[in-house]
Amino acid sequence: MTAGIVNVLKPPGMTSHDVVGCLRRVYGLKKVGHAGTLDPGAAGVLPVFLGPATRLIEFAADADKAYRVELTFGYATDSGDDSGNVIATRAGFVPPGTGAIAAVLASFLGDSEQIPPMHSAIKVGGRKLYALARAGIEVERRPRPVTIAAIDLLRAADPVILFDVSCSKGTYIRSLCADIGDRLDCPAVMTFLVRTRVGDFTLATARTLEEIAAAPAAALLPVDHAVRHLERVVLADGDAARFTHGQKIPLGDLAGDRPLAVYGRDGTLLGIARRAAAAPLLEPVKVLAP
């Protein structure tokens, strides 16, 4: 079975599920999934996993992400982007200078909490928020922890600004744009979004669907590309064999319970492990190689 990852340049106008459907046809596979949903109107990096590689989707989805964002001041919508219904306007708003805008952006750096938008796939009471929103139902959402690692103003031309942001998983850029507007005392919406990075998957190496269809084999990345952002552990042959049979391996210099990418001496990704809770042992989480 084909196994690997394709770094897709998703075009605006397609859902992430549409992209998965395209790659199922290209590679003749049913077992295909993506890491990190992109809104239909957004473009950019969408890692798509084929065959056994789908077992690693969660580790790519957990990776930090980067975006280029266009924000427009002067109105707000119920969806947080320009596809929604306008719910607030403010005419005659004059944004402050670039220095003041950059300072407001910088105020979002670090750890904080963010309220997810109603137009999101989070479930409340077993129903996705966007389904509730389409039915005209708004529910209370719990704030979620997010981290903004970097945020840089690129251009400001009234009423639009362009900025780059690097952030943790689960960060909603539409909500960030609305929050930026709140701090500048003006409604604001996200009017375009390009995802430039998911972990080690970058925009520079992403391929269009047309390029992938023309050369499917050339577009495949190795399975371990999804976990290159994880700390790496290399096991000797005996320990590697025990690990692939689900056994815990003594390894006393680990700290914390972060996931670790486990390799054999030949460079084969064997699986994912964590430190066992009660002892200094390497505990298999996912075993990939026999």
Domain boundaries, given as residue ranges, for the chain: 4-63+200-225, 65-197, 230-287
Share of the chain above pLDDT 70, in %: 88
CATH number of 230-287: 2.30.130.10
Question: Among 133-137, 203-207, 246-250, which is the least confidently predicted range?
Answer: 133-137
65-197 matches 4-63+200-225 in CATH topology: yes
What distance in Å separates the CA atoms of residue 207 and residue 223, rounded to the nearest whole number? 17
Q: Helix 173-183 and helix 98-106: axis angle, to 10°?
A: 120
CATH number of 4-63+200-225: 3.30.2350.10
Homologous superfamily of the 65-197 domain (CATH): Pseudouridine synthase (3.30.2350.10)
State phi, psi for 7 to the nearest 5 degrees: -90, 100
Q: Please, are residues 74 and 226 in contact by the beta-carbon 8 Å criterion?
A: no
pLDDT digit string, tens, across residues 255-290: 667 788 999 999 999 999 988 766 678 889 999 866
Residue 255 confidence (pLDDT): 60
Closest CA to 288 of 262, 254, 258, 267: 262
pLDDT digit string, tens, across residues 58-77: 888 888 999 999 999 999 99
The pLDDT mean for the chain works out to 89
Residue 122 confidence (pLDDT): 66
Residue 133 confidence (pLDDT): 61
Residue 83 confidence (pLDDT): 85
| Residue 131 scores a pLDDT above 70 | no
What distance in Å separates the CA atoms of residue 196 and residue 67, rounded to the nearest whole number? 5
Q: Please, are residues 27 and 246 in contact by the beta-carbon 8 Å criterion?
A: no
State phi, psi for 104 to the nearest 5 degrees: -65, -45
Closest CA to 150 of 179, 178, 171: 171
**Out of 18, 39, 179, 253, which one is annotated catalytic?**
39
More confident residue, 276 or 105: 105
pTM, 2 dp: 0.88
| Residue 47 scores a pLDDT above 80 | yes
| Residue 205 scores a pLDDT above 90 | yes
Q: How sure is the predictor about 252, in pLDDT bands with cuts at 50, 70 and 90? A: low
Q: Is 39 a catalytic residue?
A: yes
